[in-house]
Amino acid sequence: MGLTQGALFRHFPNKDAILQAVMEWVTNQLLSRVEKAAKKASSPLAAIEAMFMAHVEFAIQHPGVPRILFGELQHAEQTMPKRLAQSLIRRYGEQLNRLIEEGKACGELDDKLDAEASATLFIGIIQGLVMQSLLAGEVGLIRRDAPRVFAIYQRGIRSA
C-alpha cells in the first residue's frame, strides 16, 4: 500500500482498530450493494438472486476480505472484528428472511419453506464458493460457478 508501519499506526492505535475499520467498511459496502441490487429486482425471488450475484461480485472484487474474515474467525475468543462479522451476517440474514417471507406470501416461494434455514443456506453457499476459489487460487471460479449453484438453490426454495 506504500505505507510504513509507523504511518499506519498514526491513524490506528492497534491492529484491532485496523480490523474494526476494515469490518465496518466491509459491512457498509456489502450491505449497500446487496440492498441496491435487491431494490432493482421485480420480485422477491429475483431480489434474492440479485443479492446473491452482487455478493459474488463483491467477493471477486475484494478477494482479501474473505481472507481477513476467515483468519479472524479462527480465534476462539470473541474479538471486535468477529462481533462485527456476526452482526453483518445477522443483518444480512434479516434482509434475506424478509425477502423469503415476501416470496412465500406472494406464492413465488414454497409456503412451507423455513426462511431462517434458507437464509443460512444462501450465505453458506457463498462462503463455500469463496472458500473453494481461495483453495484453487483462482477467484474467477466464483463467477463461473455462482449461476449454476444458485439455480440449484432456487429450485429448492421455489414453489411447486
Cα dihedral 63, 72, 25, 12 sign: negative
Q: What is the DSSP letter of 4?
A: -
Listed residue (66, 26, 29, 34) closest to 52, CA to CA: 34
Reported confidence tier of residue 2, pLDDT bands at 50, 70, 90:
low
CA distance 109 to 119: 13
* Residue-wise pLDDT tens digits, 25-70: 999 999 999 999 999 999 999 999 999 999 999 999 998 888 888 8
CA distance 139 to 141: 5
The one-letter amino acid code at 129 reads L
**pLDDT, the chain, mean:** 91
* Ramachandran angles phi, psi of 109, nearest 5°: -115, 155
Cα dihedral 59, 38, 31, 111 sign: negative
- Asked if residue 6 has pLDDT above 80, the reply is no
> What's the CATH fold of domain 14-157?
Tetracycline Repressor; domain 2 (1.10.357)
pLDDT at 3: 63
Q: List the chain domain ranges.
A: 14-157
Vertex 112 angle, CA 101 and 147, to 5°: 65
Listed residue (155, 146, 137) closest to 63, CA to CA: 137
